[in-house]
Amino acid sequence: MLNKEYRGLAEINGPLIVVEGIEGVGFDELVEVITPNNQRRKGRVLQISEDKAIVQVFEGTSGLSINQTRVKFLNHPMELSLSRDILGRVFNGVGEPIDGGDEIFSSRKYNINGNPINPYARKYPRNYIQTGISAIDGLMTLIRGQKLPIFSGNGLPHNRLAAQIARQARLGNGDEEFAVVFVAMGIKHDDADFFIRSFEESGVLQNVVIYLNLADDPAVERIIAPRVGLTAAEYLAFELGMHILVIMTDMTNYSEALRELSSRRGEVPSRKGYPGYLYSDLASLYERAGMIKGRPGSITQLPILTMPNDDITHPVPDLTGYITEGQIVLERELDQRGIYPPINILPSLSRLMKDGIGEGYTRADHPNISSQLYASYSYVQDVKALASVIGEDELSELDQTYLEFGRQFEEKFLGQGNDENRDIEQTLDLAWEVISTIPATELDRVSEEEIERYYRK
Partner 1 sequence: MAKEGRIIYINGPVVRADQMEGFLMQELVYVGEAKLIGEIIELAGDTATIQVYEETTGMTPGEPVYSTGSPLSVELGPGIIGNIFDGIQRPLAEIKERTGAFIERGVAVTPLDREKEWDIEIKVKAGDRVEPGQVVAELAETSVIRHRVMVPPGLSGEVKLVVPDGRYSVEQEIVHLVDDSGQEKVIKLYQEWPVREPRPYRERLSITKPLLTGQRVFDTFFPLAKGGTAAIPGGFGAGKTMTQHQLAKWSDADIIVYVGCGERGNEMTDVLEEFPELEDPRTGKSMMERTVLIANTSNMPVAAREASIYTGITIAEYYRDMGYSVALMADSTSRWAEALREISGRLEEMPAEEGFPAYLPTRLAEFYERAGYIKTLGQEREGSISLIGAVSPPGGDFSEPVTQNTKRFVRCFWALDKSLASARHFPAVSWLESYSEYLGELADWLQENINEEWLEHRNWAMRILKEEDRLQEIVKLVGEDVLPDNQRLILEVARLIKVGFLQQNAFSEVDRYATPEKQYWMLKIIHFLYEQALPLIRENIPISRIKDNELFSEIIKMKEKIANDELEKFKDLMTRIEEHFNAVRANYQD
Ligand X SMILES: Nc1ncnc2c1ncn2[C@@H]1O[C@H](COP(=O)(O)OP(=O)(O)OP(=O)(O)O)[C@@H](O)[C@H]1O
Q: Could you say which residues in the range 305-334 bind ligand X, by CB under 6 A?
A: 321-322
Q: Which of 325, 344, 313 is nearest to 409 (CA)?
A: 344
Q: Does 27 bind ligand X (CB under 6 A)?
A: no
Contact 55, 19 (CB under 8 A): yes
Strand order in the sheet with 150-152: 90-92, 208-214, 178-187, 243-249, 298-306, 150-152, 326-329, 349-350
Q: Does 409 bind partner 1 (CB under 8 A)?
A: no
Q: Does 308 bind partner 1 (CB under 8 A)?
A: no
Contact 155, 182 (CB under 8 A): no
Task: Out of 201, 375, 452, 457, point to the residue binding partner 1 (CB under 8 A).
Answer: 375
Q: Does 124 bind ligand X (CB under 6 A)?
A: no
Q: Does 28 bind partner 1 (CB under 8 A)?
A: yes
Q: Does 455 bind partner 1 (CB under 8 A)?
A: no
Contact 170, 129 (CB under 8 A): yes
Question: What residues from 417 to 446 belong to the interface with ligand X (CB under 6 A)?
Answer: none
431 DSSP assignment: H
Burial pattern 262-299, b for ≥16 Cβ within 10 A else e, equals: beebeeeeeeeebbeebbebbbbbbbbbbbbeeeebbb
- State whether residue 152 is helix, strand or coil: strand
Site string for partner 1, 30-69 (x = CB under 8 A): ----------------xxxxx-------------------
Residues pairing with 179 in the sheet: 244
Question: What residues from 344 to 363 belong to the interface with partner 1 (CB under 8 A)?
Answer: 346-347, 349, 351-352, 354-355
Residue 326 or 415: the one with the smaller Cβ distance to ligand X is 326
- Picked from partner 1, ligand X, none, the partner binding residue 81 (CB below 5 to 8 A depending on kind) is none
Q: Which of 379, 367, 376 is nearest to 450 (CA)?
A: 367
CB of 349 to ligand X, least distance (A): 6
For residue 351, give the amino acid letter.
R
Site string for ligand X, 267-306 (x = CB under 6 A): ----------------------------------------
Residue 194 or 379: the one with the smaller Cβ distance to partner 1 is 379
Contact 405, 456 (CB under 8 A): no
Question: What residues from 267 to 306 belong to the interface with partner 1 (CB under 8 A)?
Answer: 267-271, 275-277, 279-280, 283-284, 287-288, 290, 292-293, 295
- Picked from partner 1, ligand X, none, the partner binding residue 149 (CB below 5 to 8 A depending on kind) is none
CB of 32 to ligand X, least distance (A): 40
The H or E element spanning position 56 is: strand 52-57
- Picked from ligand X, partner 1, none, the partner binding residue 346 (CB below 5 to 8 A depending on kind) is partner 1
CB of 129 to partner 1, least distance (A): 16
Task: Out of 66, 84, 124, 333, point to the residue binding partner 1 (CB under 8 A).
Answer: 124
Residue 2 or 268: the one with the smaller Cβ distance to partner 1 is 268
- State whether residue 221 is helix, strand or coil: helix
Quote the distance between the C-alpha of residue 133 and its chain's center.
18
307-312 long-range contacts (CB < 8 A, ≥24 apart) are: 307/151, 307/152, 307/153, 307/252, 308/252, 310/153, 312/151, 312/347
Question: Site residues (CB under 6 A) for ligand X?
Answer: 321-322, 349, 351, 354
